[in-house]
Structures are given as C-alpha cells and as structure tokens.
A and B are shown apart, each in its own frame.
Chain A
Amino acid sequence: DSGVTQTPKHLITATGQRVTLRCSPRSGDLSVYWYQQSLDQGLQFLIQYYNGEERAKGNILERFSAQQFPDLHSELNLSSLELGDSALYFCASSVVAPKPTGTGIYRNTGELFFGEGSRLTVL
C-alpha cells in the first residue's frame, strides 16, 4: 500500500460525457502528479501540482483540467470524452523530507508514490 488513494477504481461512461477522478496523496506530501497510461502510449505525464499551485504541465489535453485543494487532495476532470481517452489514470505524490539540519526547509528526495489507478472506459 503506497498510501496514495484514488477513486473510483473503475469508471465506465459514454462519449461526450465528463468525469472527475480523485486522488488523496500520502500524508504530508505536497506534490501531486497525474499520469495517463494507455496501451499504445505508455505512461504519459499529464500535470503536477505543488501545494495547490500548478507546477509542471505535460501532455494534458485542453479538455482535461486538474486542481489541488487546500487539504492537498487533487481532482482530474476529463470532459467531452472520446473513445481514445479510455486508459488507466494514475496519481502519484512525492516524498518531502526536512533537511537533516532541521532548518524546516523541505526537500524533495525524488521518490514518487503511485496509487493503484482509476480505469476509465469510454464507450
């Protein structure tokens, strides 16, 4: 168990619809990342949030949007769904650890913890 929780685990919907995927990061992790994995594209980075702010953007379509809330959970919104959006959507959060000197300044060790994914099927 990575400590990252994603809901729903499975979702079936029709073309043209809109869905929201939810992610709860590990306790204390400030960064959340979203990835899409389809059979032909592999794992594609979509977007990253850090402490509520967008931090990095990858191959995210304009029909998709995300946000991170004050309690650090994140949602990925997918709209005007197409057949090609059928995929596994993974959320990850990153380890944030205090510096050994105890300065209170947090550093990122680079390790990402992934949830089990949300499988979206668009019919």
Chain B
Amino acid sequence: DGGITQSPKYLFRKEGQNVTLSCEQNLNHDAMYWYRQDPGQGLRLIYYSQIVNDFQKGDIAEGYSVSREKKESFPLTVTSAQKNPTAFYLCASSPGQMTYEQYFGPGTRLTVT
C-alpha cells in the first residue's frame, strides 16, 4: 500500500525543547514538502525538497530545519526558536519538480506548552 506516513499523530512538548516530526513516503516521489496549518490560515509552506540532499526554504521557514538524506524520508525539526510552534503539520510529496498534484500525509498535531 503506497502512501505517506507521519508519526506520531499527536505530539506534546515543553517550551524550549526541539522536536522532530517524521515523514516517510513509499511512492517513489522525488519531491517532498512540509506545511503548517493554523485555524483560518490555510496551508503555509515551511520547507520543500525536490531532490535528495537538497532543500529550499518556503514562506515560513524561520525556527524550522529539515534534512533529506534519503528519498523516502523528510523529517522536520521544530526548534526552540520557533515562536508559535503549536499547529497541525502536514507532509506532502509529488512525483517530480514539474508536477502540480501533491499527496498528503495524515498530519501531526504538535502542542507546545
């Protein structure tokens, strides 16, 4: 069964701690993306990677970091520098650079207190 998995579904952290969100895909897609969703804000792009070992900042990259060491994995670290980390985080992938449609994972709800 091909798809995108994100774990865990719910994550709780104390303020000041870094936390890493997992995203794995077995669709053999080249491109992967991280979005953040806040109530009434839609989906905002944090980082994206169009090829292994390369990634680009999105619209709201401050306070986040990523790595893309393997084609199937694109973990996102929410650092203590992110001022408002509590949100719903979505990972997506697409077949390649010149494709429009994205496939989304189920998301991770991060709560920082």
Q: Do the two chains bind? A: no
A residues contacting B by CB (< 8 A) are none
